[in-house]
């Protein structure tokens, strides 16, 4: 008997065995000399050198020794051919202590044949199951790499079910125990059943293994594929001669060239290292690259050289803008400070005025005068703090805020940065942009401006900020006290005339390819354009009209060929070039009217003359208000009426009128919302006029708030209102006593061309504004209640532009 260490031999198998142990060699020798038959039994523990009876399995095979070869290393190779299965009843193990010596004896055993019994079930049943097992084995052999695929062909030709079953068992990759168990199955049915179970389990395991394998390989392959494609791409670029290494050298060079400040330098280097490790196609790489691009594109040290010479600055400002003496003086003060200290740490200049008065172009001139870059940043409609300060990088498509964007455009650290339309700044749940701006404008804080996207501090201290706004009340409170307000109230007619002929016309001629003297617009014609084609505080519309005029002339020149230059445009030519004039160029007829007073308002578009209409209609002494009035205006109307009620007797008003009539106050001007505290005295005047029948003087306009006791309170925007009154050729203006000092700020023409009546009380207002009663008018006013008596309603300047909020009281 030969104990087998690590193999279980099945019947009908041929196998070479390497024999080395003395007892085994003795067994081989004995068999070779005898009938060449050997009993082969597997030992329970493969590592046991000298197994005893209990260390051996009981079921084994008888094999015929085919061939014995002695190998040079002393061991022997034996080819055996197993045939019958046996079960051992007894082992006789020699009691030699030195089993390894030459003369050792073989183990003997008593065994009997143990053929595979068959259950009495139908043969065909077993055949079917065996065929199924075989097909499972086929699949198994296909998947199990250690089973040679040709085995399937060999086994297929075996007819005998027992041979086939043992053949399959022999070629399964199983543990020794499992194989021994298969060998020891009592019947063929049991063996086939066991084989079937084993194969199903093994197949399941193999499939699982393959799935995992595929997944692992799949992901490996994906990475390799990307890597491979990128390598290919790079190779193609190399071939085409546009080899840029890993694509980051250029960026690195840019960053180096920027000479980033210390802390930022470290951040950028870290980010670049990170970027190099990322797959170029990954979203992280895009984010990282975007950030580095921003850092590389921003100016960190670069600055332009300032020309801080007051004389040059004055020349530039004068060359670009007519008049505006005050404003220019303030700007030159600024320049003077800058030339001394380098930076202005004081408040930020804020140019406040209606559209088209030259705020933006002034800021541009300041930049030109100082030799600085100019960038403009419009704040109109900005409601989100992130628009100023940027979004954090974690947001998809995040970007730095507008300030940083503007700095990138400026390309230097010391541009003139115009923050336009400060009063149009919104604020909602997304945060308050004003607070972010506060940080921008605060000299203490803007040295280290924190943009959410950039994450590193940015120094704004070299920037010269200039802000603009249309109206003062619109500027967020917190910002207002950082600003040095410079007001541009609008232009008077002579100023407009000068601007048009000295600046706007030459500029347009140049833009249209004509020489400065080619076209001349005679003064009367220019005045007609200003009066008939524009109604504005600034000169933007005027510039547009002149542009149109020049365009038409250019075309006429092109069409007619030879024309004697210069062309002089006369009053009579205007309709040909500009079409019908939208406004009445003639001085408005200033009529006295009952129940209609001229108020003065201050709007985004500058000062305005507003008509306030009051009508008396049958009713019960109530007040009706129409004309899209704001809350302040409504309160003014109530206060005005209360004051009138308290003065019935002195005014000579019959108390009964008020008991049987309603008062209707109307401020017509389309749907333009109107609000503000300056219409009180005009309302009270119109009411008093309507109730007494005394006409209001048409050449008088007024502004001021009224208290219940008839005191007149001060108002804002007197400069703009004064300019507007002058523009409308109003000759008398009533203003509150407290506003008297503001008169000094008015342009000379506006101050001297108007008679200013400074008042403290409503009684004084009526003194200046009301004419003595005209008896005929009084009766008409009272009898034709509500209707506008003919001849009274003609307004001074018939066609009113939609942009002009008119306040009337009817
Ligand atoms: P704003 O910013 O106040 O709305 P702009 O600066 O856009 O106005 O001015 C409108 C146009 O009027 C510009 O072409 C500007 O040059 C011109 N302009 C305004 N004021 C003057 C002035 N005083 N002298 C010359 N041109 C002027």
Instruction: Provide the 3-class DSSP secondary structure of residue 125.
Output: helix
Strands, E assignment, 348-433: 348-352, 374-378, 416-420
Please identify which residue in the block is written with the tokens 């049991």.
Answer: 190
The b/e string for 129-148 (b: 16+ C-beta within 10 A; e otherwise) is bbeebbebbeebbeebeebe
Q: How far is CA 780 from the centre of its chain?
A: 65
Q: Where are the alpha helices (DSSP H) in 309-396?
A: 310-320, 325-341, 359-370, 385-389
Which position has the higher pLDDT, 445 or 808? Answer: 445
| CA 21 to ligand 1 center in whole angstroms | 113
**Ligand 1 center–CA 499 separation, angstroms:** 9
| CB proximity list for 471: less than 8 A, separation 6 or greater | 352, 423, 602, 603, 604, 717
Q: Whose CA is nearest to atom 18 of ligand 1?
A: 358
Ligand 1 centroid–CA 359 distance in Å is 6
Confidence band for 100, pLDDT divided at 50, 70 and 90: low
Q: How many CB atoms lie within 10 A of CB 695?
A: 23
Q: Give 266 Cα–ligand 1 centroid separation in angstroms.
A: 46
pLDDT at 792: 40
Write down the pLDDT at residue 684. 94
Please, what is the end-to-end C-alpha distance for the chain in angstroms?
134
Separation CA 782–CA 785 (nearest Å): 6
Ligand 1 centre distance from Cα of residue 330 (Å): 18
Ligand 1 nearest-atom number relative to CA 321: 24
The residue contributing the CA closest to ligand 1 atom 24 is 321
Atom of ligand 1 nearest to the CA of 320: 25
Which ligand 1 atom is nearest residue 355's CA?
4
Annotation says 738 is catalytic: no
The per-residue pLDDT for 476 is: 83
Q: Please, what sign has the CA dihedral across residues 220, 223, 227, 233?
A: positive
Average pLDDT over residues 176-204: 93
DSSP label at residue 564:
P
- The predicted model gives 741-761 an average pLDDT of 86
538, 547, 604, 606, best to mutate for ligand 1 pocket (most atoms within 8 Å of CB)? 538
Question: What does the block give as tokens for 808?
Answer: 């009337």
Lowest average pLDDT, out of 158-162, 226-230, 759-763, goes to 226-230
Q: Quickly list DSSP for 478-496.
A: HHHTTEEEEE-----HHHH
Residue 779 phi, psi dihedral angles, 5° rounding:
-60, -40
User: Does the structure show a pLDDT above 80 at 806?
Assistant: no
Give the whole-angstrom CA distance, residue 214 versus residue 220.
Answer: 10
pTM above 0.75, yes or no: no
Distance (Å) from CA 543 to ligand 1 centroid? 9
Ligand 1 atom, smallest distance to 353 CA = 3
Residue 703 or 263, more confident:
703
Mutation pick for ligand 1 pocket among 350, 354, 358, 424 (CB with most ligand atoms within 8 Å) = 358
Task: Please tell me the predicted confidence (pLDDT) of residue 727.
Answer: 76
pLDDT for res 785: 38
CA distance readout (Å), 769 to 185, 375, 471, 685: 129, 50, 29, 8
Give pLDDT, residue 508: 92
Asked if 629 and 674 touch (Cβ cutoff 8 Å), the reply is yes
Q: Residue 805, exposed/middle/buried by CB under 10 A (0-12, 13-18, 19+)?
A: buried
| Residue 577, pLDDT score | 87
Atom of ligand 1 nearest to the CA of 503: 25
Report the separation in Å between the CA atom of 360 and the middle of ligand 1, taken as the mean of its atom positions.
7
CA-based nearest residue to 771, from 706, 699, 719: 699
Look at ligand 1, atom 20, and give the residue with the nearest C-alpha.
358
Residue 88: C-alpha distances to residues 40, 58, 106, 382, 541 (Å): 10, 5, 16, 98, 121
Residues of the chain with pLDDT > 70, as a percent, come to: 89
Q: Is pLDDT at 9 greater than 90 in this prediction?
A: yes
Beta strand extents in 6-75 (DSSP E only): 14-19, 37-42, 59-70
Find residue 681's DSSP bridge partners. none
* Average pLDDT for the chain: 84
Ligand 1, atom 16: closest residue by C-alpha: 361
Q: Please give the pLDDT value at position 789.
A: 39
**Pairs from 199-207 (Cβ < 8 Å, separation ≥ 24):** 199/133, 199/136, 199/137, 199/140, 199/172, 200/136, 202/140, 202/144, 202/172, 202/173, 202/174, 203/136, 203/139, 203/140, 203/143, 206/140, 206/143, 206/144, 207/143
Token pair for 138: 């086929």
Q: Compute, in angstroms, the gap from residue 58 CA to the centroid of ligand 1.
A: 114
Identify the DSSP state of 738. G
Under 8 Å between Cβ of 177 and 44 = no
pLDDT digits (tens, 9 = 90+) for 143-185: 888 888 888 988 989 888 899 999 999 999 999 999 999 999 9
State the pLDDT at residue 427.
66
* Spatial CA neighbour of 666 closest among 616, 611, 705, 627: 627
Give yes or no: 678 in active site.
yes
Closest atom of ligand 1 to 420 CA is 2
Closest ligand 1 atom number to CA of residue 495: 23
Own/partner pairs for 192-196, CB < 8 Å, 24+ apart? 192/126, 192/129, 192/130, 192/133, 192/161, 192/165, 193/129, 195/133, 195/137, 195/165, 195/168, 195/169, 196/129, 196/132, 196/133, 196/136
pLDDT tens digit string along 281-328? Answer: 778 888 888 999 999 999 998 888 888 788 988 999 999 999 888 889
Better-predicted residue by pLDDT, 112 or 560? 112
For residue 18, the cross-strand partners are 77
CA of 224 to the centre of ligand 1 (A): 63
pLDDT at 776 over 60: no
**Choosing from 496, 721, 797, 810, which is the catalytic residue?**
721
Atom 9, ligand 1: which residue's CA is nearest?
358
DSSP label of 56: B
CB contact at 8 A, 337 and 447:
no
- Selecting among 615, 678, 797, 810, the annotated active-site residue is 678
Contacts of residue 451, defined as CB under 8 A and 6 or more positions apart, other chains included, come to 389, 390, 400, 401, 403, 404, 458
276 Cβ neighbours under 8 A, 6+ residues apart: 246, 248
Please give all residues whose beta carbon lies within 6 A of any atom in ligand 1, as ranges.
Answer: 321-324, 355-361, 499, 503, 538-540, 543
Looking at residue 586, its pLDDT comes to 54
How many angstroms does the Cα of residue 508 sit away from the middle of ligand 1? Answer: 13
Residues 6+ apart with CB under 8 A from 640: 680, 681, 683, 684, 687, 706
Query: In this structure, which residue's CA is closest to atom 26 in ligand 1?
Result: 321
- To test the pocket of ligand 1, the residue of 361, 470, 499, 530 to mutate (highest count of ligand atoms within 8 Å of its CB) is 361
- Comparing CA positions, the residue from 606, 639, 602 lying closest to residue 739 is 602
Q: What percent of the chain shows pLDDT beyond 90?
A: 36
Which residue CA neighbors atom 25 of ligand 1 most closely?
A: 321
Q: How many C-beta atoms lie closer than 10 Å to residue 571's C-beta?
A: 17
Please identify, by atom number, the ligand 1 atom nearest to the C-alpha of residue 539: 12
Name the residue with higher pLDDT: 642 or 473.
642
Evaluated on CA atoms 797, 798, 802, 806, the torsion sign reads positive
How is residue 761 annotated by DSSP?
B
Which atom belonging to ligand 1 lies closest to the Cα atom of 504? 26
CA of 356 to the centre of ligand 1 (A): 5
pLDDT in tens, 385-419: 888 889 888 877 888 999 999 999 999 999 999 99
At residue 211, the pLDDT reads 86
Distance of CA 211 to the CA centre of its chain: 44
Residue 280, CB-side half-sphere exposure with 13 Å CA sphere: 11
Angle, vertex CA 100, rays to CA 96 and CA 101, nearest 5: 80
What is the Å distance from ligand 1's center to 603 Cα?
19
Tokens of 95: 């009691």
For 117-146, the pLDDT digits (tens) are: 765 555 678 888 999 999 999 999 988 888
Distance CA 715, CA 735 (A): 9
Q: Please state the rounded mean pLDDT for residues 655-668.
A: 88
Cβ 682 vs Cβ 697: under 8 Å: no
Substitution site in 318, 378, 470, 539 for ligand 1 pocket (most atoms within 8 Å of beta carbon): 539
Lowest mean pLDDT among 407-416, 434-443, 710-719: 434-443
Rg of the chain's alpha carbons, rounded to an integer?
53
Exposed/middle/buried for residue 281 (C-beta within 10 Å: 0-12, 13-18, 19+): exposed
Six-digit token string for 461: 């201290």
Nearest-atom number in ligand 1 for the CA of 362 is 6
Please give the structure tokens belonging to residue 647. Answer: 């003065």
430 pLDDT more than 70: no
Instruction: Cis check for the bond before 239: say yes or no (omega within 30 of 0).
Output: no
Q: pLDDT per residue over 29-82, tens digit each? A: 999 888 999 999 999 998 888 888 899 999 999 999 999 998 888 789 999 999
Closest CA to ligand 1's atom 17:
358
Mutational pocket test of ligand 1: of 352, 355, 356, the residue with most ligand atoms within 8 Å of the beta carbon: 356
Q: Whose CA is nearest to atom 10 of ligand 1?
A: 356
How confident is the model over 501-556, as pLDDT tens digits?
A: 899 999 999 998 888 888 888 888 998 898 888 888 889 999 999 999 999 888 88
Is 50 exceeded by the pLDDT of residue 602?
yes
Ligand 1 centroid from CA 363, angstroms: 10
Nearest-CA residue for atom 6 of ligand 1: 358
């Amino acid at each position: 008997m030969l104990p087998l260490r690590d193999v279980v031999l099945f019947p009908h198998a041929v196998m070479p065995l390497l024999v080395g142990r003395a007892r085994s060699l003795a067994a081989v020798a004995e068999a070779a000399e005898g009938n060449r038959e050997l009993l082969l039994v597997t030992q329970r523990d493969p590592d046991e050198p000298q197994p005893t009876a209990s260390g051996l399995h009981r079921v084994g095979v008888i094999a015929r020794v085919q061939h014995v070869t002695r190998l040079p290393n002393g061991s022997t190779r034996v080819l055996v051919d197993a045939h019958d299965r046996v079960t051992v009843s007894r082992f006789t193990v020699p009691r030699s202590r030195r089993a390894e010596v030459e003369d050792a004896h073989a183990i003997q055993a008593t065994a009997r044949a143990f053929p595979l019994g068959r259950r009495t079930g139908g043969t065909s049943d077993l055949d079917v199951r065996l065929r199924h097992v075989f097909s499972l084995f086929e699949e198994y052999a296909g998947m199990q790499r250690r089973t040679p695929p040709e085995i399937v062909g060999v086994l297929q030709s075996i007819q005998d079910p027992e041979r086939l079953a043992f053949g399959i068992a022999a070629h399964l990759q199983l543990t020794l125990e499992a194989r021994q168990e298969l060998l020891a199955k009592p019947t063929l049915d049991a063996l086939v059943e066991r084989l079937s179970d084993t194969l199903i389990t093994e197949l399941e395991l193999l499939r699982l293994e393959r799935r995992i394998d595929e997944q692992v390989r799949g992901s490996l392959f994906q990475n390799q594929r990307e890597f491979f494609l990128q390598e290919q791409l790079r190779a193609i670029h190399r071939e085409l001669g546009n080899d840029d290494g890993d694509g980051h050298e250029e960026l690195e060079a840019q960053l180096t060239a920027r000479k980033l400040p210390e802390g930022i330098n470290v951040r950028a280097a870290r980010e670049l290292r990170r970027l190099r490790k990322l797959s170029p196609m990954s979203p992280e790489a895009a984010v990282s690259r975007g950030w580095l691009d921003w850092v590389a594109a921003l100016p960190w040290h670069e600055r332009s050289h300032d020309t801080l010479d007051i004389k040059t600055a004055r020349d530039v400002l004068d060359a670009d803008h007519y008049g505006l003496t005050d404003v220019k003086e303030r700007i030159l003060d600024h320049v003077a400070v800058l030339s001394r200290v380098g930076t202005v740490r004081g408040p930020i200049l804020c140019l406040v005025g209606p559209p088209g008065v030259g705020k933006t172009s002034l800021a541009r001139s300041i930049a030109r005068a100082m030799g600085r870059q100019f960038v403009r940043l419009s704040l109109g409609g900005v409601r989100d703090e992130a628009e100023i300060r940027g979004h954090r990088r974690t947001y998809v498509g995040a970007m730095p805020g507008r300030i940083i964007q503007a700095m990138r455009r400026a390309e230097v650290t010391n541009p003139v940065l115009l923050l336009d339309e400060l009063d149009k700044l919104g604020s909602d749940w997304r945060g308050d942009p004003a607070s972010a701006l506060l940080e921008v404008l605060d000299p203490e804080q803007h040295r280290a401006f924190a943009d959410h996207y950039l994450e590193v501090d940015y120094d704004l201290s070299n920037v010269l900020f200039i802000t603009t706004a249309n109206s003062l009340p619109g500027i967020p409170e917190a910002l207002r006290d950082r600003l040095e307000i410079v007001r541009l109230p609008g232009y008077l007619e002579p100023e407009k005339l000068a601007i048009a002929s000295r600046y706007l016309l030459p500029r347009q001629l140049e833009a249209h390819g004509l020489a400065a003297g080619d076209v001349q617009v005679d003064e009367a014609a220019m005045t007609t354009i200003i009066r008939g084609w524009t109604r504005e505080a600034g000169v933007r519309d005027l510039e547009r009209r002149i542009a149109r005029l020049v365009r038409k002339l250019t075309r006429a020149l092109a069409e007619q060929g030879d024309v004697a230059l210069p062309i002089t445009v006369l009053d009579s030519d205007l309709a040909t070039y500009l079409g019908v004039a939208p406004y009445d160029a003639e001085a408005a007829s200033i009529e006295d009217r009952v129940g209609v007073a001229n108020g003065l308002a201050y709007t985004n578009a500058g000062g305005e003359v507003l008509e306030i209409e009051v009508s008396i209609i049958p009713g019960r002494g109530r007040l009706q208000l129409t004309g899209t009035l704001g809350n302040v205006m409504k309160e003014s109307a109530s206060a005005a009426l209360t004051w009138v009620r308290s003065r019935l007797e002195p005014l000579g008003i019959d108390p009964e009128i008020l008991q049987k009539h309603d008062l209707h106050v109307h401020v017509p001007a389309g749907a333009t919302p109107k609000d503000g505290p300056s219409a009180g005295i005009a309302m009270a005047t119109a009411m008093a006029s309507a109730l007494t029948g005394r006409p209001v003087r048409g050449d008088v306009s007024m502004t001021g708030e009224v208290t219940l006791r008839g005191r007149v309170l001060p108002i804002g925007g007197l400069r703009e209102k004064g300019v507007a009154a002058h523009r409308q050729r109003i000759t008398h203006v009533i203003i509150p006593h407290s506003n008297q000092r503001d008169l000094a700020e008015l342009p000379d023409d506006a101050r001297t061309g108007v008679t200013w009546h400074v008042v403290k009380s409503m009684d004084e207002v009526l003194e200046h504004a009301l004419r003595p009663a005209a008896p005929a008018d009084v009766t008409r006013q009272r009898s034709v209640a509500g209707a506008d008596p003919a001849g009274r309603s003609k307004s001074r300047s018939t066609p009113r532009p939609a942009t002009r909020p008119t306040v009337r009281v009817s």
